[in-house]
Amino acid sequence: MIVRSVLLRSRLLRWPLPVRHYTEGNILKLQDRGFFQDVFPAEAIDKARTTLGASPQTVYAGFDPTADSLHVGNLLVIIGLLHSQRAGHQPIALLGGATGQIGDPSGRKTERQAMLLDTVNRNLRCIGEQIERIFENHRGLMWEKRGHGGALKPVLVVNNADWYRELNFVEFVSRVGRHF
């Protein structure tokens, strides 16, 4: 069984994997495959198709710093960002440094345990480095090495604590509290 597996793999390695050629509209194909089914309300699909097909857009996805590593639950989100990047859009990985400090039950019955600021910062650093490495490897191994033309827009990794950190309580209540 092991010998057969090794022989089969060695035969498969003789032929290069097929190269996929992506077009500017490749992100629109993801919706056809059900990728955006739970993200966009049905009435927004046509507008999203028009917007994404008309010109490059900015696409972002959020990552919570609940651990010092990405997990399998982040995979689909990262694949979506990579497809967006390949279609010519600007990908942004939004790290939740501020929201990670606050906690987010997100439909859970209990709140997350509060984390120390040092832990949140370490998790942010680790996750940010992993995201950058994934995008660098994708560019080098899947884009340039396979001869795709044009440069990919680099992923921007940003932390929402950078713009929430200086917001004081009175300003927050003045701007946001009045809407509740």
Distance in angstroms (rounded) separating the CA atoms of residues 50 and 28: 9
User: Which tens digits make up the pLDDT trace of 96-129?
Assistant: 999 888 876 666 677 777 789 999 999 999 999 9
Strand, coil or helix: 55: coil
Provide the strand spans (E) within 67-155.
90-95
Sheet holding 156-159, edge to edge: 58-63, 90-95, 156-159
User: Which tens digits make up the pLDDT trace of 59-83?
Assistant: 999 999 999 999 999 999 999 999 9
Provide the strand spans (E) within the chain.
58-63, 90-95, 156-159
Domains of the chain and any CATH numbers? 56-106+126-166 (3.40.50.620)
H or E stretch at 28: helix 26-32
Q: Which one is predicted more confidently, 158 or 29?
A: 158
pLDDT category at 130 given cuts 50, 70, 90 is: very high
pTM reported for the whole predicted model: 0.75
pLDDT category at 16 given cuts 50, 70, 90 is: very low
CB 45 within 8 A of CB 80: no
User: Which tens digits make up the pLDDT trace of 160-171?
Assistant: 999 888 888 888
Distance in angstroms (rounded) separating the CA atoms of residues 95 and 112: 17
Six token digits for residue 100: 């990670």
Instruction: Give me the residue label for tokens 């929430």.
Output: 164
CB 49 within 8 A of CB 28: yes
| Mean pLDDT for all residues in the chain | 80
CA–CA distances in Å: residue 6 to residues 12, 15, 94, 139: 10, 15, 42, 30
pLDDT of residue 145: 81
Q: Which one is predicted more confidently, 142 or 30?
A: 142
Distance in angstroms (rounded) separating the CA atoms of residues 142 and 19: 9
